[in-house]
Amino acid sequence: MKMETLTLPGVDFPLAAALTPAAAPGHVVVLAHGFKGFMDWGCWPWVAGRCAEAGISCLRFNFSHNGIGADPQAFTEMDRFQANTFTREVEELRAVVRAAKALPGTERVSLLGHSRGGAIALLASEGVSSVVTWASLAGLEDLHGFRGQEEAWRRNGFVEARNARTGQVMRLGAALLEDWEARRAYLDVEAALARFVAGGGRATAIHGDADPAVPLAHARRLEKAGARLVVVEGGDHTFGSTHPFQPEPPAALRRAMEATLAAL
């Protein structure tokens, strides 16, 4: 499958990106990875290829502070990762949407976001035609499991989260906590979803019923706020996908992909 590497303007840092074009331009879906994710993780190149085969160009990218640097497969930019905020990701995704709209022949843009990227996609949904979330958070209030540790977080300047895949200890800086506390209304995912749907947008929440990281209850909240819910039986947080990607896409991933193409 043809792919073009790009560098897109962000907020104050350029964004590494990859475009997998469909045979005919028109519809572009922007793919937003999640927390401790990146655009080349596991199934994302496969997802981009499946979108292109279905006639939808796919533009995936790395958030500037996701921890990925010169090596597209390794977390080496830990200072940036520690300085990341929710608001930064919302504004960067909006910048990528503007870039997608500027691609030759683009007529409409959709969003596909995974986990935290799903929440960010809903927050950045203004001006797109549809949003599909995979295993999305319905809110950011849990602060990635560190709710209740705010005092120590502020005192130390960070909290530590272990990356289960790489074994790295990754720090979340106090800027993330301060951003949440100062901008709760702006970062209200369910309210953003309700506004999007009220304005004529289409939202679909796809979630596995065996997700150990983000419980299905989050998807139920998104459904209540206006999203159509698709439950994938046996699906975990990545619908069975691993990194490196397995030779044959698992059944749960195929079901999530079929539902995505139908929703876009």
Domain count, the chain: 1
Minimal CA–CA distance to 62: which of 79, 82, 51, 77?
Answer: 77
Tens of pLDDT, residue by residue over 74-108, are 999 999 999 999 999 999 999 999 999 999 999 99
In a domain, 159, yes or no: no
Non-local (6+) Cβ contacts of 46 within 8 A are 245, 249
d(CA 216, CA 36): 20
Residue 160: inside a domain? no
Does 242 map to a domain? Answer: yes
> Does a structural domain hold residue 245?
yes
Tens digit of each residue's pLDDT (9 = 90 or more) over 46-76: 999 999 999 999 999 999 999 999 999 999 9
> Per the domain annotation, does 157 fall within a domain?
no
174 Cβ neighbours under 8 A, 6+ residues apart: 153, 154, 157, 158
The span from the CA of 204 to the CA of 257, in Å, is: 12
Task: Supply 222's token pair.
Answer: 């998104």
Give the model's confidence band at 219: pLDDT under 50 very low, under 70 low, under 90 confident, else very high: very high
Q: pLDDT by residue (tens digit) across 122-154?
A: 999 999 999 999 999 999 999 999 999 999 999
CA–CA separation, 134 vs 236, rounded Å? 10
What angle do the packed helices 216-225 and 189-198 form, to 10 degrees? 40
- Which residues on adjacent β-strands are paired with residue 19? 4, 59
What pLDDT, in 10s, does the model give residues 6-42?
999 999 999 999 999 999 999 999 999 999 999 999 9
Q: What is the pLDDT of residue 1?
A: 77
- pLDDT, residue 116, reads 98
pLDDT surpasses 90 at 218: yes
The domain in which residue 44 lies consists of: 4-139+186-263
Specify whether the CB–CB gap between 78 and 60 falls below 8 A: no
Residue 93 lies in a domain: yes
Token pair in block for residue 75: 């977390």
Q: Give a yes or no: residue 9 inside a domain.
A: yes
DSSP 8-state symbol, 125: -
Kindly state whether residue 179 falls inside one of the protein's structural domains. no
Helices (H), 5-111: 44-53, 78-83, 86-101
Instruction: State the CATH number of the domain containing residue 232.
Output: 3.40.50.1820
Indicate the pairing of strand 228-232 with strand 202-208: parallel
Per-residue pLDDT tens over the stretch 231-264? 999 999 999 999 999 999 999 999 999 999 999 9
